[in-house]
Amino acid sequence: MSGLVAAACLIGGVAGAQTILKASHQFPGGKGDIRDEMVQIIAREVTAANVGLEVQVYPGASLYKANDQWNAVTRGLLDMTSFPLDYASGRHPEFSATLMPGLVGNFDRAKRLNDSEFMTDIKKVIENAGALVISDAWLSGAFASKKGCITTPDTVKGQVIRAAGPAFEQMLVAAGASISSMPSSEIYTGMQTGVLDAANTSSASFVSFRLYEHAKCLTAPGENALWFMYEPVLISKKVFDSLNADQQNAIRAAGEKAEAFFNEEVRKGDQIMIDTYKKAGVEVVEMSKADYDAWLELAKQSSYKEFAEKVPGGDKLIEKALAVQ
């Protein structure tokens, strides 16, 4: 099985088999990015479980490029990944609901969504495609621009902006922006070379990819967080099913520990971002409730409408998400 490597080893003179899993993600390794930390926790916990299993982590798109990870993990070519799910919405349009403007709003609601009918439906699509979620993770996000502060829809007119997925792209186009699509790992180069005027991405990516080096103004999530994205840790179903019961239990337990760490630390990420950008001399603002409401109304006329019309069962999926209080 490609990606699942059995390495023979001798322990106390008795031959045993050490199964090695490869985990890939696009985020910087060893720099404090919370998604890298989650995968590193899983690797440490699996080793400590002593069930003949080891996880080798390949950060920074060093094993697979960001957009190649979904195909690799669902086919069993890659064992594990921390993956922004909306990146696969071209194959599974339902995933656009996991980066729908204004749908989540805050961390408490994001956590409640994990146990909702909405997420049951999303995880069914993930599993049918060939992967399993071992850790849930919702990250808040921000806007940054080289030209000025993004607050109301009018403020993006004429700017070339990177948005993480179709739903945000549709809303931003409706506001008068132009779109340049790319994974978050390429935003720095896009801003540096003038391909991008602005971007929205997670708070963690705004820090770990050092986007403050090119930004003039940052719009932090604040009390009116328009941007939340689901970025779970996934394991190949084909690979998981090939493991023995002890190894599967070790993976599940490690995933739970990584998720608990995430839930404890993620709220600190927005403040770390704000402090980092202020220290770099970047202006930091937040959207008012009126700004947020204007964006949400625009999203309902563009992103929500298109999702409901073009994705089978899309209207019901949105209803299930909105039903979570």
Rg from Cα positions in the chain: 20
Q: Which of 236, 237, 191, 231 is nearest to 215 (CA)?
A: 191
In eight-state DSSP terms, residue 212 is G
Number of Cβ atoms within 10 Å of the Cβ of 67:
17
What Å distances lie between residue 59 and 36, 73, 184, 233, CA to CA? 7, 15, 14, 13
Q: Which residue has the tokens 């031959």?
A: 15
Q: What is the DSSP string of 91-105?
A: T-GGGGGGG-TTSS-
Q: What is the DSSP string of 17-41?
A: EEEEEEEE-SSPTTS--HHHHHHHH
- pLDDT truncated to tens, each residue of the chain (325 aa)? 445 444 433 333 333 579 999 999 999 999 999 999 999 999 999 999 999 999 999 999 999 999 999 999 999 999 999 999 999 999 999 999 999 999 998 899 999 999 999 999 999 999 999 999 999 999 999 999 999 999 999 999 999 999 988 999 999 999 999 999 999 999 999 999 999 999 999 999 999 999 999 999 999 999 889 999 999 999 999 999 999 999 999 999 999 999 999 999 999 999 999 999 999 999 999 999 999 999 999 999 999 999 999 999 999 999 999 999 7
Coil vs helix vs strand at 284: strand
What's the CA gap between 216 and 62, in Å, rounded? 30
pTM: 0.89
Q: What is the DSSP string of 145-163?
A: ESSS---SGGGGTT-EEE-
Number of Cβ atoms within 10 Å of the Cβ of 181:
12
pLDDT number for residue 165 = 87
pLDDT number for residue 8 = 35
Q: Which of 139, 233, 219 is nearest to 184 (CA)?
A: 139
Q: What is the DSSP string of 34-72?
A: HHHHHHHHHHHHHHHTTSSEEEEEE-TTSSS-GGGHHHH
Structure tokens at 305: 């409408």
State how far Cα 290 lies from the chain centre: 27
The amino acid present at 278, given as its one-letter code, is K
Task: Count CA atoms closer than 13 A to 134's CA, side-chain side.
Answer: 29
